[in-house]
Chain A
Amino acid sequence: MMGVSDTYILPIVGCRGWVLREGKLSSYAVDYFWIPKKANVAQCGGYEHVKFWGPHKIQSGPKLIPHASSVAPLAECGCGFYAFKTLLDLMEWLEHREPNIVVGEVYLWGRIVDCQYGYRAQYAYPKRFYSNSYEDNAYNNSTFELRDFNVPVEPMPETSYAT
């Protein structure tokens, strides 16, 4: 098991996408509704305890191995709240996804698995949502649900990826 190498006092900020399901903010592939005004806590018990949405199957989802939920995320498992390190990486990921994805920044803290292009974290909370997300129409219909999180909604910064 990979041990903790460093400790920090400022939360990590990453970029990620969400979707709106049943009028609530949800993780993209996993059956998890984000909770407003509370720290969202990662839990994992292997495949038996994780439900994937729609076409997202175990084969295409993260690799999960059974372990106690108190240690989520485990480096060897695929659990935790996901975020990319840069907006550019997120935009590349969005290219192959459906257009109704809400994009923003997310605070990550607690135990964090630092990966090549992003993070997997124990605790997470949205930092800001971008108003001109990948598909404006989908976003404009969703601002009401996002307000519950009491975080700013701002225009997405320019990236060299955007043309």
Chain B
Amino acid sequence: MNVGEPQRVIEVVPLHEPVPREPKPVEPEKEPVYEPEKEPVEP
């Protein structure tokens, strides 16, 4: 590709890189564990 003679040099510093990222894996919600209430133990 012939893009011709250089005219100037610039610096581009984007706030966000224009690269699509892999979506972060979403952890499945943990089901609440049922714990039966313990009956008080009489001394």
Contacts and interface: CB of A to CB of B under 8 A. Distances in A.
A125 B11 contact: no
A112 B2 contact: no
A120 B2 CA distance: 10
Interface of B is mostly: loop
Interface in A11-45: 11-12, 16-17, 28-29, 37-39
B3 A9 contact: no
Interface string B12-43: 11110111111000000000000000000000
B18 A127 contact: yes
Nearest to A121: B12
B5 A9 contact: no
Interface stretch (A103-111, A133-141, A153-161): A103-111
A5 B5 CA distance: 16
Given A37-B19, A39-B19, A150-B20, A7 B12 contact: yes
Interface of A: 2-12, 16-17, 28-29, 37-39, 75-76, 82-84, 93, 107-120, 123, 125, 127, 149-151
Interface of B: 1-15, 17-22
